[in-house]
Amino acid sequence: MCLAIPARIEELTTPGSAIVNLGGVRKEISLALVDDATTGDYVIVHVGYALQKLDQEEAERTLEIFAEMGQMEELREELSGGAA
């Protein structure tokens, strides 16, 4: 399964490219599919491309859900005896 993840643009590099923060990991992506993206904007990132801009509130809510899902997965592993 492939996911598109909200990420905050931290730096514009070359025209059409930017550095984003993906949960603490900085990665260079293409902005070729998104118009008028700038530093501080949130974008949806999939396989190295920004697909669209996203407002900050929606991005933060989505990232919180992803974090909760990760915690739920850890809980499932503990309950099934998979965690040490």
Structure confidence by residue, pLDDT tens digits, 29-58: 999 999 999 999 999 998 899 999 999 999
What residue has token string 């070729």?
A: 32
Domains of the chain (ranges, CATH numbers): 5-79 (2.30.30.140)
The pLDDT assigned to 84 comes to 46
Residue 74: pLDDT band by 50, 70, 90 thresholds?
low
Does pTM surpass 0.85?
no
Token output for 73: 């997965």
- Lowest model confidence (mean pLDDT) among 11-20, 26-35, 52-61, 68-77: 68-77
Token output for 45: 């990132």
Q: What mean pLDDT, rounded, does the chain reach?
A: 84
